[in-house]
Chains A and B, each alone.
Chain A
Amino acid sequence: MAMSGTPLLEPDTAQASRSPFRLPLAWLIAIAVFVMFWLYAKPWFPAAFDYPKAYVIKLAKWISSAMKWLINEASFGLFSFTDLTRFISAVLDVPYTLAASLLSTGFLEGSGSSAIQIVPPLPWVAVIGLVMLLGHWLGGRSLALLAGGCFLFLAVFGQWTSAMITLASILVAAPLGVLFGLLFGVAAWRWRWVERMVMPLLDLMQTIPVFAYLVPVLFLFGFGPTAAVIATLIFATPPMTRIAILALRGVPGEIIDLGHMVGCTERQMTWRVMVPAARESLMVGMNQVIMLSLNMVIIASMIGAGGLGFDVLAALRRLDFGAGLEAGFAIVALAIAMDRLSQAAAEKLSAPSPEAKSSGFLARHPYLVAALGLLIATTALGSVIPGIHTYPEALQLSTGTFWSEVVAWININYFDTLEAIKNAMLINVLIPFKRFLGDLPWFGVTAFLGFAGYRLGGWRLALLTFCLPLFIAVTGQWEKAMITVYLCGISALFASLIGIPIGIFAATRDRVWSWVQVAIDMLQTLPSFVYLMPAVMLFRVGDFTAMIAVVAFAIAPAIRYTALGIRKVDPKLIEASRAMGCTEWQILTRVRLKLALPEILLGLNQTIMFALSMLVITALVGTRDLGQEVYIALTKADTGRGLVAGLSIAAIAIIADRLISAGASRAHHRLGLE
């Protein structure tokens, strides 16, 4: 409050705002120095171009041996580390087995192929009925129909068994994720030192590609659904923690004062005042955790989660596009149902309404009674009529062959065209760019990034943007990292080139926007594996294929942020410009785009993050970047290799994120939007 008044414009910002096309002098000099260094310094400083092998720190090996030690030797006195991991697995296995038995496999006696089902799983009719009842309770008839429809889709297209396994994993992982996230969030809110420890960890965990999580989990907990649940938990807890911290911070100061004034103890303050008061935002977190869990359960199929994710992965390995797409749509259906249900739950629970007071169990719990009735009726009927218990195969539909045929038809008729496009792109764009990046001296790049950090965010950012590339070089990952940067950069560029115009076009047309929104929501919920398949089938393996898949996945945030940024521009300003006689084009270029710039930059940021996370998955189609390292590490259960490569990807993500955010906040500041 003492610092009020107009902030002084720094000289270079003032200049930049006068002539937007000219870079300030400092940047010009830095670029010139960098180019000179690159072109002429090689004979004198070869070590600055290729990091000397002798000085590579063997971090990967150290981590791997540390993990081996953990597994084989580490002990807490009474029990060993392995005992601990086994214990955790065993504890998590109980609810998972229960949920999976109930929904999908039935309760079994014995194991393996000799297992005999003693109690069958819930009939599909019962599950759909329960989902509809839940939908009706939470959001009325339309929600009941939507949720029921989504589940019916699963049954009709023959995805029921897999979908129920996936659902079981989520039913176990999501509540635990919410619980742990809330506990961490509360701890971080209550004790500053916890927050200081947790926050950087959260930042890191959000940027490390999910595959990298799988490696240590696989190593510690083995292969199987329980390990997948643990990986999902590790993945879904950090966002919940972050949301919990924000939600608790968002509680008005007066409510906190109230808590003190009525004499709350610390515990009462937390659980009676803060958490209930933050309930609304916490519920948003719940929704997030469910969606993230769903996302992760798919990826965790690589370490044995089974279910829909496994179906997609298996289809990918067989290159059976139709089957993969069908399983992918099943995931979307499940995602839509869970998203809408959890949103309705959040609304219902955070805004309680007076309950009608009536006596009698039946009158007070109509939904519970109906659910019980439904269960008993369908189970009884199911034992007589098998069609009620298991969806009859004769009624199943499949579009799988249709999609496969579409792809085959395209391949037969347009093979040459596609090949020509691919080769032209590879020869003229991708390969030159790759060579260019590969040529750059690592030391020059590191120094230049440090300079950029300094100009955009001061010394602390400079330190970060200097040390992270150094880490990549020192651990011997530079070449692979450059391939990652190349693939990610070119994909993000194409995604932005396509996405931003779409966003601009959709932003001012409500009708179009509502459709575009549905489309990008869908793009984001489709599991990332699905994108690979058509790309592989049309273009076979390689960088170009990877790029197509990444662009398809990363285009959503480019569209979304651009459109949101433009839509957020104050309507009064638009009115004012119209009153001054601006044409629509002038309004777009002079007002809307200028004011939406920070948002668009954030969109670019997200596009890069999405591209990076997708890149790891494209390792499946034979790229040679850091993602491949992680993938190889996963197949060999080599924790060190996976983690170091994962951390390097995280480093790239953090550098891009911090630089762009710093740029965006500068733009924000200059426009006086804050």
Chain B
Amino acid sequence: MTTPEAKLVCRNVWKLFGAEAEEFLASHDRHPDPDAIAEAGLVGAVRQVDLDVHEGEIFVIMGLSGSGKSTLVRLMSRLIEPTGGDVLFKGENLLKASQSRMIEIRRHQMGMVFQHFALLPHLTVLDNVAFPLDIQGMDRAAREARAREMIELVGLAGKESAFPRQLSGGQQQRVGIARSLAVEPEIWFLDEPFSALDPLIRREMQDEFMRLQTKLHKTIVFITHDFDEAIRLADRIAIMKDGEIVQAGTPEDIVLTPATPYVAEFTKNVARAKVIRTRSLMTAVAGGEEDGARISARSNIAEAAPLFLDGATHLGVTDDDGRIIGRLDREAVVSLMLQG
């Protein structure tokens, strides 16, 4: 499974809450079953998680409240000490790292955005964004220059000297985003960043987030409880339930072939046309010629559909370089959309 570009890898990661959890895990061959956990009076917050996050992708961990997703993201940055397993960051086992090494890694290579923003109330926007750099010991001029750059990036220029309580929720989270990016992290954790926002603002922030990502190409672990948000943003999704990952894959995989009835519950109301990409529905054409309208292989069917309105029977599907790699037929699109 470990592909060369895997940035962050979790191997058999466990978090059990309760007394003597580590001994318990060791004595059960590192794979205790749920009954044994309950019997020992422990709570299995995260159980047997294996996953890898690739360089430059948006990896979404989706689950309802209590599913262990927030715990999992904190295990990845070792904010919570795992009970067992390995967390490899760029090949280095974080669980073996010393306290000072951990501080070093967090200072320079990790960034995190929090659900309730976690802005320091006594600092201005500028000082909040510059705070991680200040902690590193960077001098005032350099850190403020960098902070201004980040504030500009998230579109808050002019608000530098405001205090957090003077900003709206959306603006506060922009500050949180700017702050987490100030250290130029290699991995970017977002823990339900938009959950505390109103639906309209949430939509706007999702767009903003995608805009930033096309610019920055960060490796991202994104936590959410909102399946639509997951579908919208993810390159790959892991769905969690009761501390376990029940299915991991691309949004298309999950919508088309839900692994369990639990996952199917989420997918059944999702309009497939919004998930399935043209690449999956096209018939491959080797070195095809150009006629009529074209569409990118990355687009989804909902985006392709309007192009058939003028009566076209098929579209040319192009790759990132603009070469035609396949043909999308009207019938295929119609039958998919009729399925809902």
Chain A residues with Cβ under 8 A from B123's Cβ? 276
B104 on interface, CB distance cutoff 8 Å: yes
Q: Does A354 contact B (CB under 8 A)?
A: yes
Q: Please determine whether B118 and A260 come into contact, CB atoms closer than 8 angstroms.
A: no
Given A261-B77, A263-B106, A263-B136, check contact A252 B118 (CB 8 Å): yes
| Beta-carbon contact of A1 and B79 below 8 Å | no
Of the candidate stretches B161-169, B212-220, B240-248, the one touching chain A is B161-169
Whether B161 pairs with A1 at a CB distance below 8 angstroms is no
Q: A262-B132, A262-B135, A354-B161 are in contact. Are A254 and B114 (CB under 8 A)?
A: yes
Residues from 75 to 109 in B contacting A, C-beta threshold 8 Å: 77, 79, 103-108
Nearest CB of chain A from residue B107's CB, rounded to whole Å = 3
Assess the B120–A255 pair: CB atoms within 8 A. yes
- Within 263-294 of A, Cβ neighbours of B (below 8 Å) are at 263-265, 268, 272-273, 276-277, 279-280
Residue of B43, B66, B105, B106 with most chain A CB atoms under a 10 A cut-off? B106
Q: Does chain A have a CB within 8 A of B222?
A: no
Q: Is A353 an interface residue (CB 8 A)?
A: yes
CB contact between A260 and one of B106, B116, B124 (< 8 Å): that residue: B106
A366 interface contact, C-beta 8 A: no
A352-B114 contact in complex given A261-B77, A261-B79, C-beta closer than 8 Å: no
Residues of B with C-beta under 8 A to A268: 135
Interface residues of A in 341-364 (CB under 8 A from B): 350-354
Assuming the A-B contacts A262-B131, A262-B135, are A354 and B162 also in contact, with contact meaning beta carbons closer than 8 angstroms in the complex? yes
Q: Which residue of B lies closest to A273 (CB)?
A: B120
Residues of B contacting A674 with CB < 8 Å? none
Task: Return chain B residues, CB-CB under 8 Å to A257.
Answer: 74, 79, 112, 114, 118
- Whether a CB of chain B sits under 8 angstroms from the CB of A8 is no
| Contact, CB under 8 Å: A263 / B115 | no
Q: Chain B residues with Cβ under 8 A from A255's Cβ?
A: 118, 120
Cα separation A468 to B116 with both chains bound (whole Å): 47
Q: Is the CB of A272 within 8 A of B135?
A: yes
CB nearest neighbor in B for A268: B135
Q: In the complex, what's the smallest C-beta–C-beta distance from A117 to chain B, in angstroms? A: 44
A623 to chain B, nearest CB (A): 50
The answer to the question of B111 belonging to the interface, with a C-beta cut-off of 8 Å to chain A, is yes
A26 to chain B, nearest CB (A): 31
Q: How close is A407's CB to chain B, nearest CB, in angstroms? A: 53
Contacts of A425 in B (CB 8 A): none
CB distance from B77 to the nearest CB of A (A): 6
Whether A1 pairs with B43 at a CB distance below 8 angstroms is: yes
Specify the chain A residue showing the minimal Cβ separation from B180: A261
**A275's closest neighbor in chain B, by CB?**
B122
Is B121 at the interface (CB under 8 A from chain A)? yes
> Which residues in window 128-182 of B have CB below 8 A to A?
131-132, 134-136, 161-163, 165, 180
Report A-chain residues with C-beta under 8 Å of the C-beta of B103. Answer: 263-265
Tell me, rounded to whole Å, the shortest Cβ–Cβ distance linking B124 to chain A.
Answer: 7
Q: Are A352 and B106 in contact (CB under 8 A)?
A: no
- B135 and A254 within 8 A (CB): no
Q: Are A260 and B79 in contact (CB under 8 A)?
A: yes
Whether the Cβ atoms of A263 and B122 lie closer than 8 Å is: no
Q: Which A37-67 residues have C-beta < 8 A from chain B?
A: none
* Distance from A367 Cβ to chain B, minimum over Cβ atoms (Å): 21
CB distance from B119 to the nearest CB of A (A): 9
- Considering the chains assembled together, what is the distance between the CA atoms of A222 and B108 in angstroms? 57
With both chains docked as a complex, state the minimum distance between the C-beta of A113 and any C-beta of chain B, in angstroms.
52
| Distance of A607 Cα from B93 Cα, bound (Å) | 59
Measured CB to CB, the closest approach of chain B to A281, in angstroms, equals 12
CB of B110 closer than 8 Å to a CB of A: yes
For B111, the closest partner residue in chain A by CB is A261
Closest B residue, CB atoms, query A257 = B79
Which single residue of chain B is at the shortest CB-CB distance from A258? B118
Instruction: Give every chain B residue within 8 A of A252 (Cβ-Cβ).
Output: 116, 118
Contacts of A9 in B (CB 8 A): none
Total number of B residues with any Cβ neighbor in A under 8 Å: 36
Whether A78 is near chain B, meaning CB under 8 Å from some CB there, is no
What is the distance, in angstroms, from A349's C-beta to the closest C-beta of chain B?
Answer: 9
Distance between A347 CB and nearest chain B CB, rounded to angstroms:
13
Q: Which residues of B contact A412 (CB under 8 A)?
A: none
Which of chain B's residues have a CB closer than 8 A to the CB of A280? 121
Per-position binary interface string of chain B over residues 241-271, scored 1 when its CB falls under 8 Å from any chain A CB and 0 otherwise: 0000000000000000000000000000000
Complex Cα distance, B120 from A515, in Å, reads 39
Query: Do residues B135 and A277 form an inter-chain contact, with CB atoms below 8 A?
Result: no
* C-alpha spacing A276/B117, complex, angstroms: 16
B135 proximity list for chain A (CB < 8 A):
262-264, 268, 272
For B134, the closest partner residue in chain A by CB is A272
A263 touches B132 (CB 8 A): yes
Given the complex, which residues of A lie within 8 Å of B161, measured CB to CB? 354
A384 within 8 A of B: no
Complex interface: chain B residues within 8 A of A576 (CB) = none
Q: Enumerate chain B residues within 8 angstroms of A261, measured Cβ to Cβ.
A: 77, 79, 106, 110-112, 180, 189
A2 is an interface residue with CB less than 8 A from chain B: yes
Contacts of A263 in B (CB 8 A): 103-108, 132, 135-136
Beyond A352-B163, A354-B162, whether A276 also contacts B120 by CB under 8 A is yes
A257 CB to nearest chain B CB (Å):
5
Considering the chains assembled together, what is the distance between the CA atoms of A112 and B111 in angstroms? Answer: 67
Q: Do A2 and B163 contact each other (CB < 8 Å), given the known contacts A258-B118, A263-B103?
A: no
A5 to B191, CA, bound (A): 29
Say whether A258 contacts B114, CB under 8 Å. Answer: yes
Q: How far is the CA of A650 from the CA of B115 in the complex (A)?
A: 46
> Which A1-34 residues have a C-beta within 8 angstroms of B?
1-2
- Complex Cα spacing A353 to B162, Å: 8
CB distance from B31 to the nearest CB of A (A): 21
Q: Which of A610-636 contact B (CB under 8 A)?
A: none
Q: A485 → chain B, closest Cβ, in Å?
A: 42
Complex Cα distance, B165 from A268, in Å, reads 23
Query: A354 vs B124: C-alpha distance in the bound complex, in angstroms?
Result: 8
Instruction: Compute how far the CA of A268 lies from the CA of B116 in the bound complex, rounded to whole angstroms.
Output: 22
Contacts of B110 in A (CB 8 A): 261
CB of B81, distance to nearest CB on chain A (Å): 12
A656 to B136, CA, bound (A): 52
Known interface pairs A261-B77, A265-B103; A351-B165 also in contact (CB < 8 Å) = yes
- Name the residue on A nearest B77 (C-beta): A261
A532 vs B162: C-alpha distance in the bound complex, in angstroms? 54
In the complex, what distance in Å separates the CA atom of A277 from the CA atom of B121? 7
Taken together as a complex, chains A and B put the C-alpha atoms of A106 and B322 apart, in Å, by 90
**Residues on the A chain within 8 Å of B124, using CB:** 354
Bound-state Cα–Cα, A268 to B111, Å: 18
Instruction: Name the A residues within 8 Å of B189 (CB-CB).
Output: 261
Task: Assess whether A2 is in contact with B43, with CB atoms less than 8 Å apart.
Answer: yes
Which A-chain residue is minimally distant from B132 (CB atoms)?
A: A262
**B182 (CB) vs chain A CBs: closest residue:** A262
Query: A230-273 vs B: 1/0 string, CB under 8 Å?
Result: 00000000000000000000001011011011111100100011
Q: How far is the CB of B133 from chain A (nearest CB, A)?
A: 9
**Please, which residue of chain A has its CB at the minimum distance from the CB of B136?**
A263
The smallest C-beta distance from B121 to any residue of chain A, in angstroms, reads 7
Q: Which residues of B contact A265 (CB under 8 A)?
A: 103
- In whole angstroms, what is the CA distance A127 to B180 when docked? 49
- Checking A277, A279, A354 against B163 with a beta-carbon cut-off of 8 angstroms, the contacting residue is A354
In Å, the complex CA distance between A265 and B102 comes to 10
- Give the complex CA separation of A268 and B120 in angstroms: 14
How far is it, in angstroms, between the C-alpha of A435 and the C-alpha of B48 when the chains are bound? Answer: 71
Q: Residue among B110, B111, B114, B116 with the most chain A CB within 10 A?
A: B114
- Closest chain A CB from B123 CB (angstroms): 8
> From residue 391 to 443 of chain A, which have CB atoms closer than 8 A to chain B?
none
12 CB < 8 A contacts A-B? A1-B43, A260-B106, A261-B79, A261-B110, A261-B189, A262-B107, A263-B103, A263-B135, A276-B122, A277-B121, A354-B124, A354-B163
Q: A254-B114, A262-B106, A262-B107 are in contact. List 8 more A-B contacts (CB 8 A).
A: A1-B43, A260-B77, A261-B111, A261-B180, A262-B135, A263-B136, A277-B121, A351-B121
Q: What are the 10 closest A-B residue pairs judged by CB atoms, nearest first?
A: A263-B107, A262-B132, A254-B118, A263-B106, A258-B118, A261-B112, A254-B114, A263-B103, A276-B122, A354-B161
